[in-house]
Structure formats: structure tokens, C-alpha cells
Amino acid sequence: MKTTSLVSALVLLVSLTFAVVPAAAAAKAVFVEPTWDAGEVELGTVIEHDFIVRNEGDQPFEITGVHPTCGCTVADFDPVIQPGKTGRIHARIKTKTLHTGKLAKTITVNTNAPGAERVILTVKMILTTPLEFLPKPMVYLSAAPGEEKTQEVLARPHRPGMKVVGIRCDSPVFRVSYEPAKPVAKGEKRLAAWLLPREGDYWIRITMPGDTPAGIHRGEIRVLTNDPDYPEAKLRVSAVVREKR
């Protein structure tokens, strides 16, 4: 009986001892918005954004390294964040050397906070030129002898108030013209209907006549605008008329 009581007392004493031991203090890193969408960005723009990180623990934590995956990106950061405080990782992306379209640039962040030793931050964007050509600023034409070929390219201004006001081609082989594009509903039939024009777009039409001689032909098309800072954009044409058999 005495032995049983002694064992029970020891178990109770051990339980009470562990009950009053406080939890180990630690930092807790919370990245408020690890992915940021910059939306449509004009080529050549420098994008800047602050990623916010909050310390919700009761110990300071350190950002031990920040590593952009692209040479176009530079990042500054607060190296130590105290409990209850917020810090920042400042990303700066130069877009001048990037290609147009949907892009994502990432930054790897290393910290000494449990559970956040390696965090990936992402900047998303759609990079455009002031006047974009869709599907691309290059036209390829191929025809049999005596065959006329026509292709349309969609010109999409991205600056407010920008309009196409003229078109020129340095080659006498091609006929070129332009016209405002009417918005096209899904399923409507027309050349390049999948592009779905929107208000303010233009169709650029390039035609190689049927009497074009056999061989390879190239040309550069200048699309003129009313924007004094971006007066023209260029389309390139490469065509071949096959030899008669």
C-alpha cells in the first residue's frame, strides 16, 4: 500500500514538473504575400515591389540570404526582424532585356526561422511593347507560282490614346493596309479569329500578289502611330514563291 502511494506521488510530481516548463522560445516568419502580380507592364519599365515578412514569434530571426534567379532582378532586405515587427524584401526588376508575354521572376529567401528556412517569392507580369503585334512581329508567307497569299496581324496599342495612323513597306513585292478591328465574339469565323480583337486594335493586312516571281522575298513594314514617344513599330515579312515543276 505504501509502495503504491509512493509511486503515485512520484508520477504526480513529475507531471507537475513538466506542466510548468515553458515552451521553447522561437521566431515565426510569416510572408504576407509571397506571390505578387504586377499585371501588364511595358517593356523597359523597372518594376519595384516590397515583399513583407512578419515575425509572429517571441525571438528575433535572421534573413540569411536572398537569391534572385535572374540577373535582371536585384533584392535588398532587412537582415534581422524582431518579435512582433515586420521587415521587407525589396525586389527591383529591369525588364529592358526580357521578352514579351507572360513571365514570372522568382527570389529564393533563406532564414533561420523554423519552418521558413527556404521561401520562394514570385513576381508575375505580362510584358508588352507600346504597340504589340499578335501573334508575333514576324510574318511568313509561302505560295505556289501564280498563287496570291494574304495574312493578317493584329496590332494592339497598350498606351492610352495611341492610334495607328499609317503604314509603309520597303519592298514593292508586298501590298500592305490596315483598318480598325471590330471586337470578335468567340466562334465567329474570320482569318485569325482566335486572336479575339478588342476595342482599339487594328488589323494589319499583308498580301503577296499572284504575279510575284519565284524565289525568296523579304520586307520591313513600318506601322506609324500618333505617339510622339513611340512613332513607329516594325513588322518583318519573309516569303517564298516556289519554282514551277
pLDDT at 101: 86
Q: What distance in Å separates the CA atoms of residue 35 and residue 38, rounded to the nearest whole number? A: 10
* Last residue in a domain, options 78, 97, 128: 128
189 shares its domain with 124: no
* Last residue in a domain, options 83, 105, 128: 128
Distance of CA 91 to the CA centre of its chain: 15
**How many domains does the chain fold into?**
2
The CATH number that applies at residue 83 is: 2.60.40.10
Q: Which three cell numbers stand for residue 211?
A: 504575279
Q: Is residue 213 part of a domain?
A: yes
SS3 sequence, 191-243? CCHHHCCCCCCEEEEEEECCCCCCEEEEEEEEEEECCCCCCEEEEEEEEEECC
* Last residue in a domain, options 128, 146, 166: 128
Q: Is residue 21 part of a domain?
A: no
35 shares its domain with 97: yes
119 shares its domain with 167: no
63 shares its domain with 84: yes
178 shares its domain with 123: no
pLDDT at 21: 42
Instruction: Give the domain extent around 152.
Output: 131-241
Task: Identify the DSSP state of 117.
Answer: S
Identify the CA nearest to 100 among candidates 121, 75, 130, 122. Answer: 130
pLDDT tens string 191-206:
444 568 888 999 999 9
89 shares its domain with 169: no
pLDDT at 75: 83
Cβ atoms of 63 and 31 closer than 8 Å: no
55 shares its domain with 122: yes
Identify the CA nearest to 136 among candidates 65, 237, 222. Answer: 237
pLDDT at 18: 46
Q: Is residue 210 part of a domain?
A: yes
153 shares its domain with 70: no
Q: What distance in Å separates the CA atoms of residue 132 and residue 172, rounded to the nearest whole number? A: 25
Q: Is residue 189 part of a domain?
A: yes
Task: Name residues of the chain where pLDDT drops below 50.
Answer: 1, 16, 18-23, 191-193
pLDDT tens string 120-129:
999 999 998 9
Q: Is residue 187 part of a domain?
A: yes
What residues have CB less than 8 Å from 23, skipping those under 6 apart? none
141 shares its domain with 41: no
Cβ atoms of 128 and 183 closer than 8 Å: no
Q: What distance in Å separates the CA atoms of residue 113 and residue 118, rounded to the nearest whole number? A: 9
pLDDT at 189: 53
